Each structure stands twice: as C-alpha cells, then as structure tokens.
Structure 1
Amino acid sequence: MSIRTGFIGLGNQGKPIASHLAPAGFETTVYDIASAPVEELVAGGAKAASTPRELGAEADVVGICVPEDSHVLAVTLGENGLLSGMKSGGVILIHSTVLPETIVEVAAAAAARELDVLDACVTGGAGRAINKEITYLVGGPERAVEKARPYFDATSEIAIVYAGELGNGAKLKLCLNLMTYIQWAAAYEPMALARAIGLPLDVLESAGRSNGQLTDLMTSFLAAHKLPDDARKSDGFQDLMRGHMQIAEKDLAWALKLARQAGVALPVGSLVSQSMARLYGVDDEGRR
C-alpha cells in the first residue's frame, strides 16, 4: 500500500531530503515558515500546507528537520501542531539533532493518539542528501521502522543504522558529532602549527593521508581554511560559518549535558565546544 508523506523544515538539510519524496511517487505535503523552499518543492510535485496540523491530516509518514529541540516541540505539540492533525497509525520521523528526552516527550504525546515516533537522525550533510547518500540513525519500535521503510528507501540508498530503543538514534548522533568536532580540532591545530613554522600544508596533508591519521572528514574540513583571506572574511562566508558554528555549539552542549547526566567527564569535548569560532574561522572575539 502506498503511503502519503509529509515533511516539515526545508532548510539546508531538510529540503534535499524532502525533494526526493514526490518524484518517488508519494503524495507529498510540505511545510516551512519560509515560502521559497516550499514553492520550490511544490514545483517539483509536492503540495503546500499552511500549518503542521494541516500537513498531518494529509500524511502517514512525516519527516521533521528543524534546527532545535524547541522547534521540534513547537511543530509537533504546539498550537496547530502535527499531532493534532495526524490519523492513528502514522509515523513521525525526527531528523533533527536533539536530546533523547525531546524524542521521548514527543513519543509519549504521540502514543496517546496511537502514533509512532522514531528518532531518525541524519548524518552526511546536504551534499550527500542531494545524492541520496545520507545515513539514518534510527531508534524506536521496529514496526514503525517497517512502516517508514518506503520513505527511507526513497530518500537514501544507504542502509539505515538501527540503534535500538527510542532515543538511541539521538544518542548515537550526538556521539558521532562529538567525534567529528574533535577530529576537526585535531586537524586545525597541526595546520596552525605548520603555517607558523613554515611547513607546507600539502606536505602535512600528504604525510597525514599516507599513514591514515588525516581522515576524509578532516581533509574536507581543512579545505575551507585554504581559501584566500578575502573570501574567508566575506559576509557570505562568515554568515555560512556562523550558522555551522551555532549548530556545532548546540550539538556539543547537548553531548556535554548527556555526559553530566551519565556521570562521565568529557574534558576534550568541553574544550572543543569553546573553540568552534576559531575552528570555523568566524570573526567573533567573544567566542574565541
């Protein structure tokens, strides 16, 4: 049986995921507070909803990709929220990087309406989303995973990683993001030292790649630091990097919160969390 799909949050990550749904043959409804990405997807075959509630009435499986926990709660539980519109048996996929407790809160409210929730966090970035190469990190009931399988298959050719119980997808994503940002710090400081002592960066990269110390992620991260200074100081670049910095700081804050709750120390993660402006090259003295 064909499913009706919906998508809330058509930003840098969400729009390319949602763009695959209507072309895959699903009746698709989309919602965002910005009109431009909605219009773009409508041109590609989707329908527009004026509220999350309206979208919920038109969808069986709904993806949510909004920036923060408060946004997830607003579009699901708020006035004219998604839960008030969806019919029983539906599945909500939370793609946002949020705290596990946020997933659990939404799931508890959804269960009262006979809806399932999966934390279906995504990793890979916008470029991989365009190419159907993102990885879904999924926690929650397996029955809901199977209901949502056509959605997953339509939006990525990479097999999902099933992490187990509800909340484990969010936990896994925060652990992976912690790993990523620590890698970037590990790449940045040798680069800074090499520049200061006159060592060519291509020699550093060649040696690091040859012995496996410099990963693909680290190499990709360093590419931005090779841009000319005028490009790095441009308003466009600074705005882009500031947005990435703010997301990174939020993700690391949530990883550190989880660590405190679990009684484990993350001293390296704590230091990295205070260094994101430097790592991204953002001109913001208050964050350095």
Structure 2
Amino acid sequence: MKTIGFIGLGIMGAPMARNLVSAGFTVRGYDLSDSAVAELASAGGVATESIADAVDGADVVATMLPADPHVLSVVLGEDGVLEHLKPGTLLIDFSTVTPDTSRKVASAGAEKGVRVLDAPVSGGQAGAVDGVLSIMVGGSPADFEAAQPVFDAVGKVAALVGPSGSGQVVKAANQLVVGGTYALVAEAILLMEASGVDASAGLDVLAGGLAGSRILELKRRSMLAREFDPGFRIDLHHKDMGIVLDAARRAELALPFAFQVAAHVQAARALGLGDRDHSALLAVAERFTGRMGA
C-alpha cells in the first residue's frame, strides 16, 4: 500500500493526512476547502480537485467527515467514492457516524468488491497532530491486518472490536465517558473554587491519583482559564450523544447518566457554545450554579 486517497481535511483529517505523508505514503487529498488542500500539498501531499481525482489509482481510501449525511453523500452518492474504486481497494472511514451508516457503507462496498472498515478515532486534535490516536475498528480480521500500516501512521493503538459498525458502537461509548468526565471535572473545579481552594493545585493532585485522566492531563489548565478553543466542538459531541442515545434505544438499555450527559451538551449548544470545545461544559456547570467565571 503506497497511495492513499484522503477525503476530509478538517481539524482531524488534515494532521492525519500529514502524518501519513511523513510515514512515506503518497497522499492524494481532497476537501471542499481549497486552503486545506493547499496546506496538505505544502506538507508533501498531492492536491486534487475532486473525489474521483483523489481516489484514482489509490490502494487505500480514507475518509474523515463530520456526520452521517456527509459520509453517505461522499461515499455512496452520485460520483462518490465507490463509483471510482477498483475491486480490492481498502476503504477506511475514520468518521464518527451511526453503526447503521457504517454497515450500509460496508454492504455497498462488498457489492463492488471493496473492503471496508469503520475506524472512528479518539484523542482529539492533539492526538491527531501527534499521531497518537486510539482507533476503534469494525470489519474483518484480514482487512484490519491489511490496514495496520495506515493505523500505525496516525495512531498509538488500534483494536478490532467486531464486525462492521462495531467501531462506531465503541466510539459512542468513548464519547459518553468523555462527556461525562468533562461534566464531572467542571463540577470539581467549581466545588474547589467556591470553597476557597487553590483549584490549580487541586487538579494537579487529582491528575496524579485515581481520578487522573487524559482530560485532566490535557485540559485542566485551559479549563481553569476558561479557554474553550476547539479541539473538538460541542456541535460534534452533540451529534455523538445522539448516536449514544440511539444505540441505547436499539439495545433496549436504560442509561440515565447518558441522558444527563446529552442534556449538558445540549445545554451548551443552547448557550451558543456549539462552536466551542467540549470542555466548555464548564460554562454549563457555571450557569447551573449561578457562579460565572470564578
């Protein structure tokens, strides 16, 4: 596998594509943003002007798109990815979408002899830049093995978690834990600040103990400073929590904390924070308690 067509050069896709270039792949990139394509070209990638141009002759095609409608349109739509792939091509969808969408893409790919993996990632923009993403993969063991060099270039750990759609279920679980952790860290910050405690020192201690997490490691300083530049936008986390709740409904599960996390994320959107980082759940907690910008 030498040539990769990469479609979707946003906050996550752009650094992933650059890391693939650094790993020695020829990366043919496409995005609706001309500047994003130009930036990839300046990093050693190949600029393309269409989906067809990006995937022509590629051994692997990778997509990193915002939501289900984008994946369905780009991959299954008229003049989409599948119309231009030769049998045997490996299609890796790094997008976070519903399990149903991943299964539709895999089924359509199988009809054309295209191998498909759903491979949503966790680690945020920093993980994408540093090439240390966690990758949750649904598909066949043989296709997972074939994709390993790609996963090694963009991530620290990749795990095959089941058949098509399974990666999306694990990503939904991941987003539930991440959202819940942000909400709890936010309340911990407010508790310490309202009690006259040095919250910065307090979070340092928490980060080194059983309460430690990647969120505390990476975001405690920016949360204390109320700096909510994305990262990973509230709007996208809202979409992901919809996937969580839908998966719970389909599995006939009562997940009360999942509903609470979803409500917090929705509240952030209602406060006009949809384009802010999901650490802005701190602003929601402040609104709930009436303690603003402590």
Q: Which residue of 2 aligns with 1:262?
A: 251
Is the partner of 2:203 in helix, strand or coil?
helix
Is the partner of 2:119 in helix, strand or coil?
strand
CA distance in 1, matches of 2:164, 2:208: 40
Q: Which residue of 2 aligns with 1:83?
A: 82
Q: Which amino acid counterpart does residue 247 of structure 2 have in structure 1?
A: L
Q: Which residue of 1 aligns with 2:66?
A: 67
Q: Which residue of 2 aligns with 1:113?
A: 112
Q: Which amino acid counterpart does residue 120 of structure 1 have in structure 2?
A: A
Unpaired runs of 5+ in structure 1?
none
**Greater displacement, 106-115 / 208-217:** 208-217
Unpaired runs of 5+ in structure 2?
272-278, 289-294
Once the two structures are aligned, what percentage of the paired residues are identical?
Answer: 31
2:189 aligned with 1:197: no
Deviations 1:35-93 (A, max 9, x none): 11101111223222222233222312111111101111111011220000111100111
Is the partner of 1:212 in helix, strand or coil?
coil
Residue correspondences, number: 276
TM-score calculated relative to the size of structure 2: 0.85
1:24-63 correspondence runs (5 A): 24-63=23-62
CA distance in 2, matches of 1:206, 1:130: 25
Alignment partner of 1:274 out of 259, 263, 271: 263
CA distance in 1, matches of 2:180, 2:72: 29
Aligned-residue CA RMSD in angstroms? 2.4
TM superposition shift of 1:206: 4.4
Is the partner of 2:161 in helix, strand or coil?
strand
CA distance in 2, matches of 1:206, 1:3: 44
1:90-101 correspondence runs (5 A): 90-101=89-100
TM superposition shift of 1:282: 8.6
**Greater displacement, 92-101 / 42-51:** 42-51
Q: Which amino acid counterpart does residue 29 of structure 1 have in structure 2?
A: R
2:29 aligned with 1:17: no
Query: CA 1:131 to 1:220, structure 2 compared with 1: closer, same or farther past 3 Å?
Result: closer
Query: CA 1:260 to 1:5, structure 2 compared with 1: closer, same or farther past 3 Å?
Result: same
**Greater displacement, 174-183 / 48-57:** 48-57
Deviations 1:197-256 (A, max 9, x none): 3222134324434541242323533322221x6xx4xxxx56x47x61111111111101
Deviations 1:85-115 (A, max 9, x none): 1111001111111111000011111111100
Q: Which residue of 2 aligns with 1:244?
A: 233
Is the partner of 1:21 in helix, strand or coil?
helix
TM-score calculated relative to the size of structure 1: 0.87
Q: Which residue of 2 aligns with 1:154?
A: 153
Is the partner of 1:19 in helix, strand or coil?
helix
2:129 aligned with 1:130: yes
Q: Which amino acid counterpart does residue 271 of structure 1 have in structure 2?
A: Q
CA distance in 1, matches of 2:40, 2:187: 42
CA distance in 2, matches of 1:219, 1:61: 34
Is the partner of 2:96 in helix, strand or coil?
coil
Is the partner of 1:172 in helix, strand or coil?
helix
Q: Which amino acid counterpart does residue 264 of structure 1 have in structure 2?
A: L
Asked if the contact 1:27–1:46 (Cα under 8 Å) also holds between the matched residues in 2, the reply is yes
Q: Which amino acid counterpart does residue 272 of structure 1 have in structure 2?
A: V
